[in-house]
Amino acid sequence: MHRFHYVGNSLHCESVELAAVARLYGTPTYVYSAATVEDNYRRLAGSLDGLDVQVCYAMKANSSLALLRLFANLGAAFDVVSGGELRRVLAAGAKVNRSVFAGVGKTEAEIRFALESGIFALHAESEPELARINHVAGQLGRKAAVGIRVNPDVDARTHAKITTGKSENKFGIPLKFAAAAYAAAAKLPHLELKGVQMHIGSQLTEVGPFVEAVEKIAPLARQLQRDFGITYFSLGGGIGVVYQDALASGAAAWWDALPADRRPITPEAYGAALKPLLQPLGLKLLLEPGRFMVGNAGVLLSRVEYLKRGQGKNFLILDAAMNDLVRPAMYDAYHEIVPLQRDTSRRALMADIVGPICESGDCFATDRTVQELGEGEYVAFLSAGAYGHVMAGRYNSRPMPAEVLVRGSSFELVNARESFEQMVAGERVPAWLK
């Protein structure tokens, strides 16, 4: 459920008319709903009610400082994957003493920074990394708390580029070698073995793979608790959001109307399926959701530049491009695209919805049916809150898009559109070329 809906014929985020945001701050602009984020957080945190749960928001999905502060205020900690993300948490005014550091390629500098910042634990993905963490902790004269990411070899049944829990993926230590990896790590003097970690992929739409993975890892977790006194089980992220019927899925009635076996994953179903497996372990549980927390809480606003009527094909050319929202080009992702001003008296238009960049990949949708639209009108890409702005770039010297946060009837620019001066600030022409 989310807070994007038509009031009359104009699309609103909570009580804010999105066309007003587009007119004031221009486009392309991302708009986020604080109430939707809060709702997602509370539902997921409550899904394992009665167990000792810490939500560590996987901030790589959307690391806007404003959203980080919103999460911190809600009681969330963070799952960070780089020194830059760690700095963002601190810049947002949050602490990292309940947060974890994940990723397959942590540098020495990142490990040192995380330890000095008082991170709750580092999630290691290989034996050489454990050795490196031990080494850095030794230099600092302290012990590093670690969990090892275990790869359960489970098929998450999601897109190939976002599946991570199969044995052929680069992530984690295979389950059958995990006990040996812990035994070896236990001999390293500057490590404290604190937990076990899994993360099997992203945009999962069913609970089955989560259940399978937890069932596979639970016996190991028990053994590690007994042998090394680990205290937590980190379940990773991966809960999917609705892309296809994004607008309709804002209403509770949409979910209720679906038969249970066709309903996309919900936090309630996730919790209900996992609780019986997790409760007997008596471990603290870390949840590291990214996409679920923010995916349906954000839209990308864009302006129609041209309606080009080609030979046997129409093109709706927008001012947003693949640099602003790369998911369609990179993952063949589907985003629902709707007009900010709905007009049911207009004809339907079948068109390819594209950006201005000279690449065939700069195409958001092929043969999509939308209401006929013309120059100067606005559209919104729904479910664009996760892996949207964070993956944006400057290809074609297009500036990084702006970001706006809505709460109730008010909205605020939380990230200004990049200026040309900011874009070229680090560049210089060498004297020998002048």
Ligand X SMILES: *Cc1c(COP(=O)(O)O)cnc(C)c1O
Binding-site ranges for ligand X (CB under 6 A): 58, 60-61, 79, 102, 199, 202, 236-238, 288-292
CB of residue 121 to ligand X, shortest distance in Å: 12
CB of 372 to ligand X, least distance (A): 36
- Reading the block at residue 266, the tokens are 């919900």
Cite the active site residues: 358
Least separation, in Å, of the C-beta of 199 and ligand X?
4
Q: How far is the CB of 417 from ligand X (least distance, A)?
A: 26
Structure tokens at 425: 């600030």
Using alpha carbons only, what angle is made at residue 274 by residues 270 and 279, rounded to the nearest 5 degrees? Answer: 140
**Cβ–Cβ < 8 Å for 388, 300:** yes
- Residue closest to ligand X (Cβ): 237
Q: Quick one: the chain helix, strand, coil %, rounded to 5? A: 35, 25, 40
Question: What phi, psi does 186 have (nearest 5°)?
Answer: -65, -20
Instruction: Render 256-318 in DSSP notation, one character per residue.
Output: HHS-GGGSPP-HHHHHHHHHHHHGGGT-EEEE--SHHHHGGGEEEEEEEEEEEE-SS-EEEEE
CB closer to ligand X, 212 vs 352: 212
**C-alpha–C-alpha distance, residues 251 and 241, integer Å:** 14
| Beta carbons within 8 Å of 353's beta carbon, 6+ residues apart | 315, 316, 318, 337, 363, 364, 365, 368, 370, 379
Beta bridge partners of 286: 54, 234
Question: Do 334 and 382 meet the contact criterion of CB atoms below 8 Å apart?
Answer: no
Task: Write down the least CB distance from residue 209 to ligand X, Å.
Answer: 12
Q: Closer to ligand X at the Cβ: 179 or 390?
A: 390
* SS3 state of residue 362: coil
